[in-house]
Amino acid sequence: MLGTDLVTALLEADHEVTGLGRADLDITDAAAVAAAVAGHDVVVNCAAWTAVDDAETHEDAAFAVNATGAGLLADACAASGARLVHLSTDYVVGGEPAGTPVSSEAALSPVGAYGRTKAAGERAVRASGADALVVRTAWLYGGHGPCFPRTMARLARERDLLRVVDDQVGQPTWTVDVAGLVLRLLAAKAPAGTYHATSSGWTSWYELALEVVRAIGRDTDMVDPISSEEFARPAPRPSWSVLSHDSLKAIGVAPIGPWRLRWAEAADDVLAEA
């Protein structure tokens, strides 16, 4: 989902790009990774095991991609001198108390198997010695993959009632905006470190569902708020997924902007074929 929009953004900015999907490169294959990285100035790793619930029962397989694969890419970048942009997630810092946006300097406190494998990926990237930007995002939506708004739009057309969790809070973020921020970080020659690529402000899944239902012209009365307990899932979810943009502000790079304004801009594109 993110990789597609990132390649588009790089091409629009007149960069030469090699866009590799899973069929082109398995990031757990060290020799293939080294060969793919060779000759490139920058590598952006959007590849991941992103099935959060399945990771609970397949943690080794998730670890292979999210930790081992990330480490192999970082080692190859360190060896070749390429800059690495490694995508990570709010699930690596899910233990923070609610109320304050989580600093990019906060200690890792992963949530669930997915969070553990992504945290191990961050550690592998930092340990590699590569010139790396760890870019954490959250609550991603986009036009090129399954995501919450597209699922809600489909369900709203199929059903009379949607019950949506109202006690998990986060920052809905458009893949196009993450791509734009990655480009700004590269253009600014941002120092190696951790940056948060999320919209600002925060909302709940329930409130986001209301926005989606409104965007497709349905009555918001069809959406009922429920608690996480009422919607049991295999993997735990962070209840407070609100990331601070402190490290962006410190280097003078503009963050993405308020989630509601960005959603208003994105909705037609994201829901086009949903």
Would you name the residues annotated as active-site residues? 114
Q: Could you give the CA distance from residue 125 to residue 113 in angstroms, rounded to a whole number?
A: 18
Q: Which of 172, 10, 190 is nearest to 83 (CA)?
A: 190
Q: Could you give the CA distance from residue 120 to residue 69 in angstroms, rounded to a whole number?
A: 11
Summarize as ranges the residues that interact with ligand NAP (CB under 6 A). 1-3, 21-22, 25-28, 46-50, 65, 69, 87, 89, 118, 137-140, 145
Residue 32 near residue 72, CB atoms below 8 Å: no
Q: Which CA distances in Å does 55 have to 7, 71, 91, 113, 238?
A: 27, 19, 13, 6, 15
Instruction: For the chain, give the number of residues.
Output: 274
DSSP letters spanning 20-68: --TTT--TT-HHHHHHHHTT-SEEEE------HHHHHH-HHHHHIIIII
When the beta carbons of 88 and 210 are compared against ligand NAP, the nearer one is 88
